[in-house]
Structure 1
Amino acid sequence: MSRQPDPNRRSEQARQAILSAAADLCAEVGFAATTVEAIAARAGVGKQTIYRWWPSKAAVLLEHMQRARETSADFPDTGDIRADLLAQTTAVEALFASHSGAIWRGLLIAAQSDDIAADGVRALLEKAVTDATKRLSTAQVNGELRADADLDMAVEIIYGPLYHHWLLRARPVPNGYMKEILNVVFDGLNPRRH
């Protein structure tokens, strides 16, 4: 008696192959040069298989970035906000330096003119900002941060320099960069001493 192949398993294998192929291609040739046709060829599937699950290459790459962020840039809560911010921003810095960084840069550029990319980028950024604000809020309640600190502004101040440095690529991000940024930020966020 022969066993029939499990179509769900075959579908998941194809899905993973597509995500990997898209990520590898984008890292190698850039977002603009990555095409659905090239992704399909590298993954060993037909274009229709890709379009069955995603409406565009941007949607495929957004799913890749969502998975990459979930596995490498979660927000820790050890009870020490400064250490947690340093760990998390260092993880984001490492993500930017990986081949996922090239993919994210391409998606940010595409988001300026592609609605699917814009919606996906916005959703990923909103999740990241929510996670950061939630962790800062916990620290505020615990007295680690000023009670009157604007947490949304704090997130922008913490992550803005990292994005600025990374997007402009004027020079490599120096060692200890985020530690120095956090030192400056915490001078303003620390509870006031009487």
Structure 2
Amino acid sequence: MPDSRATRSDERTGTILRAALELAREVGYAKLSIEAVAARAGVGKHTVYRRWSSRGLLFLDAVLSLDTGGLAHRDTGDVVADVREVMVKAVDLLGRPPWGPLYQDLVGEAQHDPEVAAALNRRFIEPQTADTLARLRSAKEQGQLAPDFDLDLAFDILSGPLYFRLLITQEPLTHDYIDRLIRALFAGMSPRPDNAAANGSR
């Protein structure tokens, strides 16, 4: 039989996370407090602190409890199409509430709280990075990308502009922007003719 105490604890945790999300959307992360979350969830603040040692870690769990709609790469044999599919999903997610504004606040908090930064990297950024690199590596092994292309650099080039627009310039993240970015990147990643062979054909 299921442990009723564990079930109640899970339900209470879910209630607290929902309360944190509701308040963050209503008043903003800067005004979020453990006390306010506890009051909204109908629990004592010590109940919250037993689960999370800081509001930053509570907020992290709350944001990551939201459904991202799936950001794993497929392998259809067309690496450009597969990368574009995930990047379009990502910009759609980041470009609208609730995920976009909440994620901005979460990244901001990570700049000041090493625990939040480490947990965000471990639980969200690193898995996304690994998935993208695995898809690019597969394409490289299949000869779709230049054999000497730096895949880590490719990932930085793909993700960096998104974070720059999201966090710095706050310009819109559009499908057209993604298409321009992918065209620029994959033009440099495409297999190139051997220089010696090219020179010999002149």
Shorter-chain-normalised TM-score: which range? Answer: 0.7 to 0.9
| Structure 1 position 115 matched with structure 2 position 114 | yes
User: What does residue 156 of structure 2 align with?
Assistant: 156
The aligned amino acid for 1:180 is: R
CA contact (8 A) 1:30 1:102 kept: no
CA contact (8 A) 1:144 1:190 kept: yes
CA–CA separation in structure 2 for the residues paired with 1:99 and 1:185:
30
Q: Deviations over 1:22-78 (max 9, x none)?
A: 122222322211111111122222212222222112212222333436643233332
TM-score (norm 1): 0.88
Amino acid in structure 1 at the alignment position of 2:168: L
Counterpart AA for 2:162: L
**How far off is 1:182 after superposition?**
0.4
**Runs of 5+ in structure 1 lacking a partner?**
none
In the alignment, residue 20 of structure 2 is paired with which amino acid?
A
Aligned residues: 190
Q: Which residue of 2 aligns with 1:83?
A: 81
For residue 170 of structure 1, report the CA deviation from its aligned partner: 3.9
Give the C-alpha shift of residue 180 in structure 1: 1.4
Quick one: distance in 2 between partners of 1:70 and 1:101? Answer: 11
1:59-111 Cα offsets, whole Å, 9 max, x none, are: 12222333436643233332221111111111211221231222221121112
**Contact (CA 8 Å) 2:21, 2:62: kept in 1 or not?**
yes
Task: State the SS of the aligned residue for 1:32.
Answer: helix
Give the CA RMSD over aligned residues: 2.0
On the 8 A contact 1:26/1:102 being kept in 2, the answer is no
Is 1:41 the counterpart of 2:39? The answer is: yes
Residue 11 of structure 1 aligns with which residue?
9
Contact 1:140 1:146 in 2 (8 A): yes
Is the 1:147–1:191 Cα contact (8 Å) retained in structure 2?
yes
1:181 aligned partner: 181
1:100 and 2:99 matched: yes
Structure 2 residue identity aligned to 1:59: L
Q: Counterpart of 2:72 in structure 1: which amino acid?
A: D
The one-letter code sitting in structure 2 at the alignment partner of 1:137 is R
Distance 1:133 1:51 in 2: 37
Match of 1:26 among 16, 24, 27: 24
Q: Is 1:72–1:95's contact at 8 Å kept on the other side of the alignment? A: no
Do 1:40 and 1:46's aligned partners in 2 also have CA atoms closer than 8 Å? yes
TM-score w.r.t. length of structure 2: 0.84
Flag the 1:61–1:77 CA change in 2: closer, same or farther, 3 A: farther
Cross-structure match for 1:68: 66
Preserved CA contact (<8 Å) 2:68 2:93: no
Bigger shift: 21-30 or 145-154?
A: 21-30
Q: Is the 2:91–2:174 contact (alpha carbons within 8 Å) kept by the matching residues of 1?
A: no
Q: Which residue of 2 aligns with 1:145?
A: 145
Aligned sequence identity (%) = 34
